[in-house]
Structure 1
Amino acid sequence: MKVHVDPQLCQGHTLCAMTASDLFALRDEDGHAYVLFDEVPPEMEDQAREAARSCPEQAIVLS
């Protein structure tokens, strides 16, 4: 599974980082999220799905 944060939609609510801190980090300059892995490890896929569901801006794209 791949995960991507759309920088145009992310508003820096930080819910993804709170939900899946091993997958997402926040930029210092604007507080927007970014993904730490190109490919989500299989054992973290549920966390990625939960983070996508929790994003109020629907900025997290799973593929």
Structure 2
Amino acid sequence: MSSDDDTQTAIDDALVPRLRVIEDQPLPSRAEAYAQVHDELRQLLEGGDVPRTHG
């Protein structure tokens, strides 16, 4: 298993329980928590972008 696979497994293992906790919260808190998860995942995905050079 590669390092990327290990990282993905760790993220998956942490995300599912976190989402279950969020689902048990009242709606206003749930919305805020989902927004935070969204922002964290976006940063994680965008952080993997490598700028391309033309030439």
TM-score class normalised by the smaller sequence: 0.3 to 0.5
Higher relative contact order at CA 8 Å, sep ≥6: structure 1 or structure 2? 1
TM-score by length of 1: 0.31
Q: Whose strand fraction is larger, Structure 1's or Structure 2's?
A: 1
- Which one has a bigger Cα radius of gyration? 2
